[in-house]
Amino acid sequence: MSHPASASRSDLARLIADARRIVVFTGAGISTESGIPDFRSPGGVWSKMKPIQFQDFVASEDRRREAWDRAFSGRAGWVGREPNAGHMAVSRLIAQGRASAVITQNVDNLHQASGIAPDKVIELHGNASYATCLACSERHELDELKTLYEATGDLPACRLCSGIVKTATISFGQAMPLGPMARAEAETLACDLFLVLGSSLVVYPAAGFPVMAKRNGARLAIVNREETELDGYADLVLHDEIGPVMTAAAPAN
């Protein structure tokens, strides 16, 4: 295999072809190609509005109202976009049985929109396309909540238990979801190729999975526009656009 710094798209295609069980790990970089802003870069979401801490959301009606105003206005820009060529290539790998799962840090629902069954998408940071009750976990659709909110001005509450309702994302200060974390670890330990697409690999514990895979004997490939702290640890690194890279590496039949 080529030294990471001199890898090519054909090298990635060979790595994918040789793998028996691939896990794909995606971050904001795969969705920026659909027009969804990332979080941390200049001009990203958090440079325009400060994140609302989970404890503040629970404790303060004012912060909950601020959060819902953001969600209903679409200011964060996390939802309402279409999957791009990178998403579609990942969907092909799943459909062909080459990849067993997608572990994603994204909340935009674009992997599901690309045709991947929801049970194949492991969402570490939740999903911004619907809401859940913090008390009983009942699912609530955003369109229904928005209609009620605009009609009454009342903060969304659970229709079953009247508990606090929040978009189904994992906020700063909120515990990571135990089920998805356990599933992500199991998939990571079962793969022989761990393919990172569009993650800066700085947010833990999520960024620990590539290291876990490599230590367990899997190959590690990273496709990201910028350098990551794990580039020197990987078997292959491409600093390139994900859509064209993955279209070449996992073409449609």
Active site residues: 125
Q: Treating both helix axes as pointing N-terminal to C-terminal, what angle do 142-152 and 61-73 enclose, rounded to 10 degrees?
A: 120
Q: What is the DSSP letter of 24?
A: E
CB atoms within 10 A of CB 237: 25
Helices H, strands E: what count in the chain?
11, 9
Contact indicator for 55, 173 with CB cutoff of 8 Å: yes
Alpha carbon 234 to chain centroid, angstroms: 21
The closest of 54, 79, 61, 63 to 143, measured between CA atoms, is: 79
Residue pair 81/110 in contact by the 8 Å Cβ criterion: yes
Nearest to 233 by CA among 248, 251, 218: 218
User: CB neighbours of 192 closer than 8 A, spacing ≥ 6?
Assistant: 19, 20, 21, 22, 217, 218, 219
Could you say which DSSP state residue 251 is in? -
Using alpha carbons, select from 100, 89, 118 the residue that is nearest to residue 30.
Answer: 89
Residue 138 corresponds to which tokens in the numbers above?
A: 């009942």
